[in-house]
């Protein structure tokens, strides 16, 4: 059975980074990626122009719903953007404590 990897991070529409890249790497390593988006970005392969953080309410709702269905074998937290949900609208310390300890 494939290992299930929960990937938390931003969405890069160019596919060069963020959860899309992490999900591709999971698939290449024969794992099953599950993704949670912390922010939508306006960017291309050259530069990032803007960032729209996810709300804590939507993020928590999706996290609860996916974890009710699939239990991850591992977690990847790839969002380090200072304008992202993790620094502005979400209380990641509490989310991390509740779901990942």
Cβ-contact 24, 12 below 8 angstroms:
no
Range(s) of the domain holding residue 73: 4-100
Comparison of pLDDT for 21 and 81, the residue scoring more: 21
Mean pLDDT, residues 49-76: 87
Q: In what order do the strands lie in the sheet with 32-43?
A: 48-53, 32-43, 4-11, 74-77
Strands 4-11, 48-53: pairing kind: unpaired
CATH number for the domain including 79?
3.40.1190.20
pTM attached to this predicted model: 0.75
Domain total of the chain: 1
Half-sphere exposure of 20 (CA within 13 A, CB side): 10
């Amino acid at each position: 059975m494939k290992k299930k990897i929960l990937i938390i991070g931003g969405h890069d529409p160019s596919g060069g980074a963020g959860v899309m890249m992490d999900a591709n790497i999971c698939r290449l390593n024969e794992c099953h990626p599950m993704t949670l988006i912390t922010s939508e970005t306006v960017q291309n392969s050259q530069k990032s122009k803007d960032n729209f953080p996810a709300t804590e309410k939507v993020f928590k709702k999706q996290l609860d719903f996916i974890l009710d269905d699939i239990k991850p074998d591992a977690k990847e937290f790839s969002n380090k953007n200072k304008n992202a949900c993790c620094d502005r609208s979400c209380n990641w310390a509490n989310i991390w404590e509740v779901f990942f300890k």
